[in-house]
Amino acid sequence: MAVNKKIKKAAKLLSCLMLIVAILASSLLVYAEDPYYGYNYNYYGEASAPNGYLPKEAYNGFEWGTGYLKNPSDMYVDVNDFLYILDTGNGRIIILTPELELSKIIDTFTDENGNPTTLKNPQGICVTPDGEIYVCDTENARVIVIDQNGKIERSYGKPVSDLVSTDLIFRPKKIEVTATGDMYVLADNIVDGAMIIAENGEFGGFFATDAVTVTADIIQLIFYRSFMSDEQIEKMMSIQPVPFDNMYLDGDFLYTATLFLRNEDQIRKVNPAGNNLFAGNEYGEAYIGGGGSGYEQAAFIDVNVSEKGFVYALDRNFCKVFVYNQDNELLMIFGGNEQTLGQYSNPTAIETIGDKVLILDGSKNNLTVLEPTYYGSQIMLGSYMYEHGEYEKALEPWHEVLKLNTNSELAYRGIARAEYLQGEYLAAMEHYHAAYDREGYSEAREKYRGQYIMDNFAMIMGIIIAAVVILVVLSKNKKKIYAKIGYKTLEETGYAGMAKWKYPFYNMLHPSVGMSEMRYNKKESLPLAILFAFLWYASAVIMRQYEDYIFNDTNINNLNVFMIFATTIGILLVGCIANWAITTLVDGKGTFKNIFIYASYALIPTTVAAFIVTIISQVMVQNEAVFVTAILFVGYAWTAILLFMGMMTVHTFTTKKAILMTLLTAVGMLIIVFLMMLLIVLYSQVSTFVTTIMYELFYKLAI
């Protein structure tokens, strides 16, 4: 019996261990199925999000019985969701059903006279609703229109027009066809946008023409050209816009993608009037660090728009897909440059069938099919409802998104919008804040502020009236109050009897007289100066930390009090040292202590302005930002005047000499900062050298 009990106990323990191992193994397998990390960026460029899309399967042609794909360059989904793959290396077109099963192969072609012909490095394909197939037969310098059996019905060569150079070698690479039969053609060496070719072959000009981007290099080039001869200018490269590399026609809008351009406007949404509705937006991989933030250069090789309006941009640099909604907000990023399923070597084209994403790889010679995860489907559902004004219905998917990603700014913004429309302005403010949506937050605060004033009008007016009455009573009984608390005015004490703590405040309104009397009566106070300096530092920290979100760009999660100390107290000390060093050479009367005291006293207006701005910003909205700017400007200007007057007083300088010394002090500060940076670099190099030597010695001794 005892043996049986031990066996049963061991069996139970073994079963528990096996169950734990199974659970751990299953979780590891689920994790291993994800070939990449999903992410998106928040307001500060920090990336974190679940995967929005995951690969389901990949096809290389063998599965369809067509033989392997070879350098496929483009594909197109028609109105019936049939997929046309331009298998460039094999010179054929593969047609698949919506379920991605083989429907037809077009690998033989005949011209208008019935003679056999072949495709030569075709790069673009488009299919009309009636089944006509347009192909950019690139190396044959033509655009051909074929039927479902491979017969060429029409052929278009280089358009004849004064706008098209006679020396141009026509190399069409991408094509889209409008409902009226007009063709938009992108061709190599064409920088004026998409060529418009009518069905009858007439040239209709260019569409979506891009302007030359004015950059620092362009400005420099224009400057140099002004000093060059005509012969030198002719030898220079002309200033031209960057051509489009791909496009997608969605109704009346043409979406374009550009491989190499500035980070702005690489993806465009061009309306019939030729205006870019996505203008001014940045694209690519965001980064923070290395002395700045911004976007790494992307190279968008293709763009596609799903039936729900989501924009899928395929990037060749990072081999990733960037998904945007019609508000041009980034929803998700997926993919990567690896050999595993769902990552790519040379992505060439992207298409969508429903929510599925299809990506063609010209190096792997395969087609990858990806499907949205639950997170991806919910974020697209919420975004779709939000864009179509169904804010309340969008609440459910947005809350589901937040369960999976508490950092989703899109979800917070969608929830805030619904709350705003329901009149829940305070809750909307909280969610707009979480979404880093200053405009929405400001609108909600304005509504909430008006609502609060209306609901509490009697109380607010009572407080205002009571405050006015108290001020009037205090003003009328000022002398009695002063007598009771023992406060003596300037008339009673004179400058010689004025307390040291009064002088800094008196100087603010009477800098010339106050500073002279303070100097003459030796009323400077080093402890007070140190206090005012640290109050200045404290005001800078408090303003960075607590100034309202609408006016404050500081990432409070990364607030660096040491850096603020360096930019306040550090600058103060450097300025004092530079001024003392410069003025000593020209018989300045002030010591370092005197300079520090007067400089610290001068910081009072800036300190007060910072505290005022921090307080009033809690109730202000965006269109009142001018008041914040004005208060800070007055504080800085006031401090500058006091600093200048203090220098004149402490050193007994004339106005002209004080101006000169101010300029020299600024130069001295730059020199000191440069020397400090140089010392830091030298220290770092010496430290690295010593550390290397120590490692080498330890390594030698160990051997």
Residue 346's pLDDT band, with cuts at 50, 70 and 90, is: very high
- pLDDT over threshold 90, residue 232: no
For range 522-535, the mean pLDDT: 94
- pLDDT over threshold 50, residue 19: no
| Nearest-angstrom CA–CA distance, 196 and 176 | 10
pLDDT digit string, tens, across residues 236-249: 544 445 678 899 99
Maximum average pLDDT range among 44-53, 473-482, 597-606? 597-606
Q: Residue 497, by phi and psi: left (phi above 0), alpha (psi -120 to 50) or beta? A: alpha
- pLDDT over threshold 70, residue 20: no
- pLDDT over threshold 90, residue 182: yes
For range 302-327, the mean pLDDT: 93
Q: What's the angle, vertex CA 360, arms to CA 356 and CA 365, rounded to 5?
A: 135
- Please tell me if the domain spanning 69-208 has the same topology as the one spanning 395-455: no
Cα–Cα distances in angstroms (integers) from residue 671 to residues 44, 146, 542, 569, 577, in the given order: 33, 73, 30, 18, 11
- Identify whether the C-beta of residue 44 lies closer than 8 Å to the C-beta of residue 312: no
Maximum average pLDDT range among 26-35, 275-284, 491-500, 525-534? 525-534
**pLDDT for 286:** 54
- pLDDT over threshold 50, residue 460: yes
pLDDT digit string, tens, across residues 635-686: 999 999 999 999 899 998 989 999 999 999 999 999 998 998 888 888 888 8
**pLDDT for 273:** 84
pLDDT digit string, tens, across residues 93-104: 999 999 999 999
The superfamily (CATH) of domain 395-455 is Tetratricopeptide repeat domain (1.25.40.10)
**pLDDT for 290:** 37
**Which residues make beta-bridge pairs with 106?**
93
Question: Beta strand 152-156 with 172-177: parallel, antiparallel or unpaired?
Answer: unpaired
For range 302-312, the mean pLDDT: 95
pLDDT digit string, tens, across residues 120-158: 999 999 999 999 999 999 999 999 999 999 999 999 999
Type and span of the H or E element at 657: helix 655-702
Residue 487's pLDDT band, with cuts at 50, 70 and 90, is: confident
- pLDDT over threshold 90, residue 613: yes
Q: State what percent of residues in the chain have pLDDT above 90.
A: 56
User: Looking at 27-31, 121-125, 208-212, 379-383, which range is the least confident one?
Assistant: 27-31
Maximum average pLDDT range among 32-36, 43-47, 395-399, 488-492? 395-399
Amino acid at 682: L
Domain ranges (residues) in the chain: 35-67+244-372, 69-208, 211-241, 395-455, 498-683
pLDDT digit string, tens, across residues 43-65: 666 667 889 999 999 999 999 99
**pLDDT for 3:** 46
69-208 is classed in which CATH architecture? 6 Propeller (2.120)
Q: Which residues contact 35 (CB under 8 A, 6 or more apart)?
A: 54, 55, 336, 338, 340, 341, 342, 343
**pLDDT for 242:** 63
For residues 458 and 557, which has the higher predicted lDDT (pLDDT)? 458
Give the pair of three-digit tokens for residue 195: 């060529």
pLDDT digit string, tens, across residues 358-406: 999 999 999 999 999 999 999 999 999 988 888 889 999 999 999 998 8
- Give the DSSP per-residue string, 345-380: SSEEEEEEETTEEEEEETTTTEEEEEEE-HHHHHHH
In whole numbers, what is the pLDDT of the chain averaged over residues? 85
For range 486-511, the mean pLDDT: 86
For residues 242 and 626, which has the higher predicted lDDT (pLDDT)? 626
- pLDDT over threshold 70, residue 313: yes
